Amino acid sequence: MPTLSVFMDVPLAHKLEGSLLKTYKQDDCPHKMFLAYRVCMTNEGHPWVSLVVQKTRLQISQDPSLDYEYLPTMGLKSFIQASLELLFGKHSQAIVENRVAGVHTVGDSGAFQLGVQFLRAWHKDARIVYIISSQKELHGLVFQDMGFTVCEYSIWDPKKLCVDPDILLNVVESKQIFPFFDIPCQGLYTGDLEEDTRILQYFVSQGFEFFCSQSLSKNFGIYDEGVGILVVVAVNNQQLLGVLSQLKGLAEALWLNPPNTGARIITSILCNPALLAEWKQSLKEVVENIMLTKEKVKEKLRLLGTPGSWGHITEQSGTHGYLGLNSQQVEYLVRKKHIYIPKNSQINFSCINANNINYITEGINEAVLLSEGSEICLPKEKKP
Amino acid sequence: MPTLSVFMDVPLAHKLEGSLLKTYKQDDCPHKMFLAYRVCMTNEGHPWVSLVVQKTRLQISQDPSLDYEYLPTMGLKSFIQASLELLFGKHSQAIVENRVAGVHTVGDSGAFQLGVQFLRAWHKDARIVYIISSQKELHGLVFQDMGFTVCEYSIWDPKKLCVDPDILLNVVESKQIFPFFDIPCQGLYTGDLEEDTRILQYFVSQGFEFFCSQSLSKNFGIYDEGVGILVVVAVNNQQLLGVLSQLKGLAEALWLNPPNTGARIITSILCNPALLAEWKQSLKEVVENIMLTKEKVKEKLRLLGTPGSWGHITEQSGTHGYLGLNSQQVEYLVRKKHIYIPKNSQINFSCINANNINYITEGINEAVLLSEGSEICLPKEKKP
């Protein structure tokens, strides 16, 4: 009988530094709140689910003609096709030219894992990854674990108080970077499915090759099923087939068969015009609701007389947006008000609702007033 | 605009040599048949599904109290607990002593991927993997891809026409091997859930540490959802916690959240005495049906006057069993009769049904008669 553990040398893993959610969970304050959830929240504070999903789920479970057999390693074909058409448009030149394809993955994390494994094996010269700063904790670690050097890159201009996508384009073009896009919630940005993937259309039109992680979890509200696709765009079909064959080998080792339930629900919706229309309508309603919340936040800050211009709040699209606070102000909100927001002040506006909007805007007001005051106390920097 | 593909150097992946299923699929012969499916098949030739699963699935889809939020990275707690109790028994000493735990994975492939990643990182001296031969194609490749040397090991004694588990025990004990078990379909071996994991109880009682891939897909008939667990048994709780914390980091990078649907169905069944009894009964019926098939095969061969003793067919438990044919006989069945069976002649007896049993037994009879004949024609080997 063995006496020593073979796991003797295995230490407790280091906890992630700066995991905001973890700190939030450990906070005992009864009025704590977390404004950085990845997913869209309802006014009641629950993850949003499109109503058409519930209906379709029930319908599927009552269909005796369906089987529950293993999906092929590359996934549910009809799901991939419908999702690619959603991403690029039905008449996309790249689809017509057979140079775009997708591998059905276990969520967007699975898509990144698969894509990064491929890049490590077949793109060996590339060792540096430039990543949008807000994504580092989520996906940057996957690159880091595989030996890439991850550099953070911000597209938020804190002086102009706006997002500058040109920064991204210039980098990709000048540094010959291989783009790996993340489309986490198409339709929940502007409420318009086509508008939300305009950047992809641009790169396709310019003949770029790229990977893209497409998540269908958040824009349908199927969080527990990992509905993702690793999208591959190549210059031609021959190159595409080579990449796909290698990806298949990697996916076989990773999970062999991707999960079916979420993909089946989504395919049923995307391929049925009536259900599709219902889903699109539900996206629009969510986005309108978020815009309304942003308007309210801006108006509350105006009424409180909070110093500064807050127009940038309503100028940004999507669930997530920058508040435009500095690190001192963010720290005040987290430490003193128990309002958990990331250092770059990019919050999920759908976390704000009628129950917490007053507390949040008053907190922002206090934070700004206090830091304004402390700035006055500091000696001004000399200009050169 | 880029002109050259960044994927230029990516070749088409080599196809797996000896993939029996691939050859079968490419065969145009109308009466071809495949007797090596991993899962239990019905008499109609479809993957088996326990009836209680369908009922529970419907019930779950109609339950408005359920949410569809992300599962924690380690998975659905109630699912893991119920599955571990199924594997080790409710009153298992290891469970009581808090030195066994599980990580909810994307199927058994995911469990192997996770376990192998851990072993590569934390068990660096171990470079050689001994694997039961029939599992090589499925799981051995995961070890191989990660740089392990994989040696095949057979527990089938072709002379005595029986499986000899002592071979396995002796190897593990003498070579200080870290055991990584595969329990792909508990209950479908003998029909008795406890009996089917007796080997695990033995290793636990001897104080061994081990990993085990537990699949719940095949014994419930939920194939498309990847319901797996990587089970960890350590000598004490402290070692266990270290291992779990490292596994969590690996699972975060792999898929972040495991899929829920299958796990939810299984938990509902395992935690409800009436549903549990129904499920157990369905397993018994399957196993009885397989035993009946084996009896019929043996009887048909007897009636055909096939040379040899065929008692070993009914002496083996489970869906899969060795026919006890040599490579020449197997080749005859594959090439001439289009009956696809693996080289070691281990077939899935649930693939045999009223429609194909005559063709299969006649094929076996021919193969044996022909090789008997050819042996007579060959000059006998000189004994030393």
Tens of pLDDT along B254-278? 999 999 999 999 999 999 999 999 9
Q: Which two tokens stand for residue A286?
A: 């969510």
Of B209, B225, B192, the closest CA to residue B86 belongs to B192
Alpha helices in chain A (DSSP H): 20-26, 51-61, 77-88, 93-96, 107-122, 141-145, 165-174, 198-205, 237-254, 261-270, 273-304, 311-315, 327-337, 357-377
Residues of B with Cβ-Cβ distance to A259 under 8 angstroms: 106, 224-226, 259, 261-262
Contact assessment for residue A143 and residue B253, using Cβ atoms and an 8 Å cutoff: no
B48 Cα distance to chain centroid? 15
Who among B4, B222, B234 is closest to A68 (CB)? B222
Q: Which two tokens stand for residue B192?
A: 């008795």
Q: Which of A15-19, A176-180, B94-98, B206-210 has the lowest mean pLDDT?
A: A15-19
Contact assessment for residue B218 and residue B102, using Cβ atoms and an 8 Å cutoff: no
Interchain pair A257, B58: CB under 8 A: no
Surface of B (329-348) touching A: CB under 8 A? none
d(CA A79, CA A266): 7
Give the mean model confidence (pLDDT) for residues B157-172. Answer: 78
Amino acid letter, residue B99:
R
Surface of A (182-211) touching B: CB under 8 A? 206-209
Per-residue pLDDT of chain A (384 residues; tens, 9 = 90+): 456 788 888 988 876 545 788 899 999 999 999 999 989 999 999 999 999 999 999 999 899 899 999 999 999 999 999 999 999 999 999 999 999 999 999 999 999 999 999 999 998 888 889 887 666 667 888 999 899 999 887 777 888 888 777 777 778 777 778 999 999 999 999 999 999 999 899 899 988 999 999 999 999 999 999 899 999 999 999 999 999 999 999 999 999 999 999 999 999 999 999 999 999 999 999 999 999 999 999 999 999 999 998 999 999 999 999 999 999 999 999 999 999 999 889 999 999 999 999 999 999 999 999 987 665 444 444 443
d(CA A131, CA A182): 11
Give the mean model confidence (pLDDT) for residues B125-130. Answer: 86
d(CA A339, CA B286): 56
Residues of B with Cβ-Cβ distance to A239 under 8 angstroms: 5, 7-8, 10
Residue with the bigger pLDDT between B280 and A208: it is B280
Who among A7, A49, A224 is closest to B259 (CB)? A224
The pLDDT of residue A156 is 79
Give the pLDDT band (50/70/90) at residue B200.
very high
Who among B61, B67, B248 is closest to A57 (CB)? B61
What SS3 state is found at A101?
A: strand
Cα distance from B313 to chain A (closest Cα, Å)? Answer: 28
Q: Which two tokens stand for residue A272?
A: 């049925």
Who among A39, A225, A248 is closest to B259 (CB)? A225
Interchain pair B110, A254: CB under 8 A: yes
Give the mean model confidence (pLDDT) for residues B361-372. Answer: 94
- Buried b vs exposed e over A140-164: b needs ≥16 C-beta within 10 Å? bbbbbeeebebeeeebbeeeebbbe
Residues of A with Cβ-Cβ distance to B239 under 8 angstroms: 5, 7-8, 10
Contact assessment for residue B106 and residue B226, using Cβ atoms and an 8 Å cutoff: yes
Cα distance from A204 to chain B (closest Cα, Å)? Answer: 10
Nearest residue in B to A240, CA atom: B7
Who among A7, A70, A145 is closest to B253 (CB)? A145
Domains and CATH numbers, chain A: 20-49+283-370 (3.90.1150.10), 71-271 (3.40.640.10)
Residues of B with Cβ-Cβ distance to A254 under 8 angstroms: 106, 109-110, 113, 254
Of A337, A338, A325, the closest CA to residue A371 belongs to A325
Give the mean model confidence (pLDDT) for residues B348-353. Answer: 97
d(CA A309, CA B367): 87
The pLDDT of residue A15 is 61
Mutate to test the interface with B, among A1, A10, A79, A93 (most CBs of B within 10 A): A10
Q: What would you report as the CA-atom Rg of chain B, rounded to the nearest whole angstrom?
A: 23
The pLDDT of residue A7 is 85
Q: Position of tokens 């077939």?
A: B347
Amino acid letter, residue A29:
C
The CA-atom distances, in angstroms, between A336 and each of A279, A329, A339, A367 are: 40, 10, 8, 9
Tens of pLDDT along B38-74? 899 999 999 999 999 999 999 998 998 999 999 999 9
Single pTM value for the model: 0.92
Q: Which of B97-101, B241-245, B318-322 has the lowest mean pLDDT?
A: B318-322
Mutate to test the interface with A, among B38, B59, B256, B264 (most CBs of A within 10 A): B256
What SS3 state is found at A289?
A: helix
Interchain pair A107, B67: CB under 8 A: no
Of A83, A96, A59, the closest CA to residue A220 belongs to A83
Interchain pair B68, A224: CB under 8 A: yes
Q: What does the mean pLDDT of chain B come to?
A: 90
Res B1 pLDDT > 70: no
Helix (H) / strand (E) containing B299 = helix B273-304
Who among A5, A11, A255 is closest to B106 (CB)? A255
Surface of A (115-144) touching B: CB under 8 A? 122-123, 141-142
Residues of A with Cβ-Cβ distance to B142 under 8 angstroms: 253
- Contact of A44 with chain B, judged by CB distance below 8 Å, is answered with no
Give the pLDDT band (50/70/90) at residue B135.
low
The CA-atom distances, in angstroms, between A228 and each of A146, A266, B61, B201, B311 are: 21, 11, 22, 39, 50
Give the pLDDT band (50/70/90) at residue B3.
low
Residues of B with Cβ-Cβ distance to A39 under 8 angstroms: 70
d(CA B294, CA A31): 66
B361 Cα distance to chain centroid? 25
Task: Kindly report the backbone phi and psi dihedral angles of residue B145, in degrees, each rounded to the nearest multiple of 5, phi listed first.
Answer: -60, -25
- Contact of A253 with chain B, judged by CB distance below 8 Å, is answered with yes
The CA-atom distances, in angstroms, between A151 and each of A131, A132, A180, A184 are: 6, 9, 14, 21
Q: Position of tokens 């089987």?
A: A67
d(CA B6, CA A118): 12
d(CA B178, CA B119): 10
Strands of the sheet containing A180-183, edge to edge, are A100-106, A227-233, A210-215, A180-183
The pLDDT of residue A267 is 98
Residue with the bigger pLDDT between B147 and B372: it is B147
Cα distance from A351 to chain B (closest Cα, Å)? Answer: 15
Q: What angle do the packed helices B107-122 and A237-254 form, to 10 degrees?
A: 80
The pLDDT of residue B378 is 40
Is the torsion defined by CA of B160, B165, B167, B170 positive or negative? Answer: negative
Q: Which of A66-70, A156-160, B119-123, B326-330 has the lowest mean pLDDT?
A: A156-160
DSSP A41: B
- Contact of A11 with chain B, judged by CB distance below 8 Å, is answered with yes
Tens of pLDDT along B168-188? 777 877 777 899 999 999 999
The CA-atom distances, in angstroms, between A227 and each of A103, A215, B267 are: 11, 6, 22
The pLDDT of residue A136 is 67
The pLDDT of residue B123 is 86
Number of Cβ pairs < 8 A linking chain A and chain B: 210
The pLDDT of residue B383 is 42
d(CA B116, CA B146): 8
Residues of A with Cβ-Cβ distance to B106 under 8 angstroms: 106, 226, 254-255, 258-259
Interchain pair B234, A142: CB under 8 A: no
